[in-house]
Amino acid sequence: MTEDPAPVDAPERPPRTMSRDARRVQLIEATIHTIAAQGLAWTTLTQVARRAGLSHGLILWHFETKENLFRETLSYLAEEYHLNWQVALAAAGPHPADQLRAMMAADFNAPIIEPGRLAAWCAFWGEAQSRPLYQQVCGDKDDAYIRQLERICAALTPPAGTALDPVLAGRMLRLVVQGTWLDMMTTAPTYSVAEAQRTVEAALAMCFPDYFAAAPTAERPAPTPAG
Amino acid sequence: MTEDPAPVDAPERPPRTMSRDARRVQLIEATIHTIAAQGLAWTTLTQVARRAGLSHGLILWHFETKENLFRETLSYLAEEYHLNWQVALAAAGPHPADQLRAMMAADFNAPIIEPGRLAAWCAFWGEAQSRPLYQQVCGDKDDAYIRQLERICAALTPPAGTALDPVLAGRMLRLVVQGTWLDMMTTAPTYSVAEAQRTVEAALAMCFPDYFAAAPTAERPAPTPAG
Amino acid sequence: MTEDPAPVDAPERPPRTMSRDARRVQLIEATIHTIAAQGLAWTTLTQVARRAGLSHGLILWHFETKENLFRETLSYLAEEYHLNWQVALAAAGPHPADQLRAMMAADFNAPIIEPGRLAAWCAFWGEAQSRPLYQQVCGDKDDAYIRQLERICAALTPPAGTALDPVLAGRMLRLVVQGTWLDMMTTAPTYSVAEAQRTVEAALAMCFPDYFAAAPTAERPAPTPAG
Amino acid sequence: MTEDPAPVDAPERPPRTMSRDARRVQLIEATIHTIAAQGLAWTTLTQVARRAGLSHGLILWHFETKENLFRETLSYLAEEYHLNWQVALAAAGPHPADQLRAMMAADFNAPIIEPGRLAAWCAFWGEAQSRPLYQQVCGDKDDAYIRQLERICAALTPPAGTALDPVLAGRMLRLVVQGTWLDMMTTAPTYSVAEAQRTVEAALAMCFPDYFAAAPTAERPAPTPAG
DNA sequence: GATGAATGAGCCTTCATTCAT
DNA sequence: GATGAATGAAGGCTCATTCAT
């Protein structure tokens, strides 16, 4: 359907020889953006290769199979995401509220919410075929993220008069973040990133009003003409 | 790899002649469950036909193209969802809190969260960014749902001392519901449906504590052995 | 390398619909002649299809895989060969010498030694990859042929003063026939079929001089200019 | 499917520099055994290289093309075979019967009937009809062998009362040898080498009873359970 | 309405060959 | 000499679509 794109990640003919790792990263980045553009299932090796300005044979030289290319792409994304929140957490102050704010904010760092990456994540979540792969590659890291959130929530005092479970609180915060990601991909016109962040801040304020201030008023997107 | 399933939606050899609409619904149901099992991209007309106990040629007789089959399947799901919450809303009392409770509860009605349907929804979301189908088919109905939620939230008094924006509140509630749906498909071991509902109730209680009671303690899934 | 041949087994565009079995036989015959022309390993589905004047997709519709096409082709050849000698045997008189003569003569019946068929047999014998297939498909039939030869040889009186083992005699006769087949494929210019038959007759005369007359003098092929 | 074998012809990492001829022989031997294991058509340069413990690039350095590697491999086998019977002949006594016995015996020398070599020969025979390679490489040597056999047979007195043509006799003996080779590759369970030799001796005894003694009784392989 | 034979575009993959190091 | 990255032609196979029955 869609025209194959001109090489994007390789403006000039790339050097014939490149370090093994650099080539692999180049191909993985091309894969991420092809998935974003075409969808996971409609991504072909030829499209990925064209985007990278290389031949499809080279992809198989480096990754053996298409399945494996996808596995390593997902692994690359998962590692990137994992490092992102861990670095943010390490940079935050010792107070649990600061840590929680840091983790939530990190989920909206520019490299994380780059449209190509969000689209790739959603593509991996969506397909039944990719679900076992997803569990294999991301299961542990997702788990670590969830546990970390719960630990921090457990260290904060719940609102007076309630008995907010830290597991519930952590889950809710995660769902709101994940949900805004999904919204950014599926609804059009999407609300702004700032608006997404304000939604998360509102959730924080509701969960832990003693530590977070309520968010200001939301902006309202203009209504779409019916499709 | 996967064995083609025996026809499940056609317990008996179906009669060679059936009303046009009944046939279409039969084929759409087979499509939903094939998408759930195989993923959207690996769903073939032959698989759908086999599940329905019919020949693949008949699908094209009724739907012209595969793309169109998918469009009508999504449309069928969207209509079903739309009717579900509208019926629930009509049955609820006049108080906005009752209406909100009814809408949230409706999202967990048995036919809505049937695993096959959830999986099909996720599949359509997963490729929403790369193809205009989703917006075309669901855009208006999604919009109507969002507006309805916002209207109800606007009719409820926000927690004392805060200025919770009804748009933000409605969005957050929707994200939590949507997020639990996604969780049910992607995380393993998944938490129970009851647990998902308790999460939504907790969100309601936090948004509008004057109308909804706080949820009890969450159950905790057994940790996975993975390192 | 070689140009794909024009359709040979389908002088005119074939009818769009044909009985399932007729189509399969047509495709198997095209396979035999393609193997003869290209060799087993260099036979492609496209070549077979072109020779039959049909599309490659149709081959897979009827045979599922290329492997299976080859299996059924070999099975077809084996069945043809098996029937050939059994019919000849049934038509021979009751005397073992007549039966032995009939079996040997049958191995040179026109349909059996058609060059395309001989070449196909040799191709299946030659490739290590096809050996398990050959055993699966032909093992029992080969066995039956060998046992039949041995039974007949055991019924004949060996030459005076010797103790010719019927197993040895049967094997030797079989080797000579098989060897002339192989010669017809690999040496050039090959000796004539009549010459091959005379060689077999000479072997018969030597094994059982009481029943078979010695062969007349062999013709000698002209020497080839060295390749 | 098949696992690529560990390097067997290169017990130690081979020295990075080796005489041109030694390298070529090393690669040819690796080719022979790869053909034996995989078949001619499924033999890839990478497999040959791996078996030799070298890189595939080196094969093309030495042989230019894959076709040429096969040509030189066949040539190497043909030369080896040629030398084998010529040496045996030279070592035999002056009597034609001794010479004939020597040639027949030489065909069962250990290096000649090594399974890898037999399999490679069969592979080349199997596609001889479809490609001129075999005739080009082996035509003259095969011819020389045949003429030599005929010369010796002509020097022996045929059995009393017959007029056995030396051309026929030589051909028959050659066919029996060749046939036992083919049997060793294709039938399972194969009879023993000793049994093959006894078959050849029986043929000698029948052709020239004045010079060769009749063979003892054949052993009989256990029948296969197949129906 | 319904079936299934037939077609052919396009996919992943293999692998001989080229070439920079 | 030797390695291995890179290319691209060609193969088997899948599957939406067409069409005769």
Name the closest nucleotide to D67, judged by C1' and CA.
E16
Note the CA–C1' distance, A18 to E19, in angstroms: 14
Residues of chain D with pLDDT below 50 are: 1-8, 10-13, 220, 222-227
Kindly report the bases of strand F lying within 7 A of a protein C-beta atom. Answer: 1-21
Proximity of residue D16 CB to strand F below 7 A = yes
Amino acid in the structure at residue D186: T
Q: Do D162 and C128 touch (CB under 8 A)?
A: no
Distance CA C42, CA D181 (A): 25
- Which of A208-212, B40-44, B102-106, C89-93 has the least mean pLDDT? A208-212
3-state SS of chain A?
Answer: CCCCCCCCCCCCCCCCCCCHHHHHHHHHHHHHHHHHHHCCCCCCHHHHHHHHCCCHHHHHHHHCCHHHHHHHHHHHHHHHHHHHHHHHHHHCCCCHHHHHHHHHHHCCCCCCCCHHHHHHHHHHHHCHHHHHHHHHHHHHHHHHHHHHHHHHHHHCCCCCCCCCCHHHHHHHHHHHHHHHHHHHHHCCCCCCHHHHHHHHHHHHHHHCCCCCCCCCCCCCCCCCCCC
Q: Which of C201, B117, A114, C117 is nearest to D168 (CA)?
A: C201
Percentage of chain C beyond pLDDT 70 is 83
Measuring alpha carbon to C1', the residue closest to nucleotide F19 is C16
> Which chain D residue's Cα is nearest to C158?
D206
Q: What is the pLDDT of residues A119-170, one digit of tens each?
A: 999 999 988 788 889 989 998 999 999 999 999 999 887 776 666 888 899 9
Distance of CA B35 to the CA centre of its chain: 14
Nucleic acid strand F within 7 Å of D51 CB: no
A125 closest CB neighbour out of B131, B164, B186 = B186
Domains and CATH numbers, chain D: 20-64 (1.10.10.60), 67-207 (1.10.357.10)
Average pLDDT, integer, range A38-67? 94
Contact D7, D55 (CB under 8 A): no
Chain C closest CA to D70's CA: distance in Å?
15
**Which nucleotide lies closest to A47 by the C1' atom and the CA atom?**
E11
pLDDT value of position B17? 60
Cα dist. B16→B22, B53, B58, C36 in Å?
12, 11, 11, 47
Angle, in degrees to the nearest 10, between helices D66-91 and D45-52: 60
pLDDT per position as a tens digit, D81-128: 999 999 999 999 899 999 999 999 999 999 999 989 999 999 999 888
Report CA(C80)–C1'(E12) in Å, whole number. Answer: 38
Q: Compute and round to an integer the Cα radius of gyration of chain A.
A: 20
Residue A220 CB coordination number (10 Å): 11
Q: With pLDDT > 70 as the criterion, what percentage of chain A qualifies?
A: 83
- Give contacts of A116 with chain B, Cβ < 8 Å: none
> Which residue, among A192, A75, A67, has the nearest Cα to A140 in the 3D structure?
A75
pLDDT tens profile C166-188: 889 999 999 999 999 999 888 76
Give the residue from A32, A145, A204, A206 with the most B CB atoms within 10 Å of its CB, the best one to mutate.
A206
What's the pLDDT score for residue A11? Answer: 43
Question: What is the pLDDT at residue A221?
Answer: 52
Mutate to test the interface with D, among C66, C118, C135, C175 (most CBs of D within 10 A): C175
pLDDT score, position C72: 96
Q: Do C122 and D131 touch (CB under 8 A)?
A: no
Which pLDDT score is estimated for D16?
54
Chains D and C touch (3+ CB pairs under 8 A): yes
Q: Chain B contacts of A174, Cβ < 8 Å?
A: 179
Q: Is the pLDDT of residue A83 over 80?
A: yes
What pLDDT was estimated at residue D113? Answer: 93
Find chain A residues with C-beta within 8 A of B168's C-beta. Answer: 198-199, 202, 215, 218
pLDDT at site B18: 66
The model's confidence at residue A215, banded by pLDDT at 50, 70 and 90, is low
Query: What are C200-217's pLDDT values in tens digits?
Result: 999 998 888 888 886 555
Measured between beta carbons, the chain A residues lying within 8 angstroms of B125 are 122, 125-126, 182, 185-186
Least CB-CB distance to D126: which of C125, C176, C205?
A: C125
| Chain E footprint bases within 7 A of protein beta carbons | 1-21
Contact A121, A77 (CB under 8 A): yes
List the A45 CA – F13 C1' distance (angstroms).
Answer: 17
Which nucleotide's C1' sits nearest to the alpha carbon of D23?
F1
Residues composing chain D = 227
Q: Which residue is nearest to nucleotide E16 (CA to C1')?
A: D66
Nearest to A10 by CA among A58, A55, A52: A52
| Residue among B131, B164, B179 whose CB faces A214 most closely | B164
Q: Which two tokens stand for residue B94?
A: 């006049």
Higher-pLDDT residue of A49, D15 = A49
From the CA of B14 to the C1' of F4: give the distance in Å: 60
| Cβ distance of A172 and B127 shorter than 8 Å | no
pLDDT of residue B96: 93
Instruction: Flag residues 65-104 of B with CB < 7 Å from strand F.
Output: 65-67
Chain-centroid distance, C-alpha D42: 21
pLDDT surpasses 80 at A60: yes
- Contact at 8 Å (CB) between C6 and C19? no
Burial class (CB in 10 A: 0-12, 13-18, 19+), A210: exposed
Q: Which residues of A in 52-71 have their CB below 7 Å from strand F's atoms?
A: 54-58, 60-62
Sequence-separated (6 or more) residues with CB below 8 Å from residue A95? none
D214 Cβ contact list (under 8 Å, min separation 6): C162, C163, C164, D202, D205
Residue contact B218–A187, C-beta within 8 A: no
Predicted local confidence at residue D11, as pLDDT: 44
pTM above 0.75, yes or no: yes
**Interval B115-150: pLDDT, tens:** 899 999 999 998 887 888 898 999 899 999 999 999
CB nearest A36 (choices: B129, B135, B172): B129
Interface contacts C/D by beta carbons within 8 Å: 184
Q: What is the pLDDT at residue D161? A: 66
Which stretches of chain B score pLDDT less than 70? 1-18, 160-163, 188-189, 214-227
Neighbours of chain D (3+ CB pairs under 8 A): C
Chain centroid, CA B198 distance in Å: 18
Handedness of CA A52, A56, A60, A62 (dihedral sign): negative
pLDDT recorded at residue C216: 57
pLDDT score of A138: 92
Using CB atoms, pick whichever of B130, B172, B220 lies closest to residue A42.
B130
Cα–Cα–Cα angle for A139, A113, A191, rounded to 5 degrees:
120
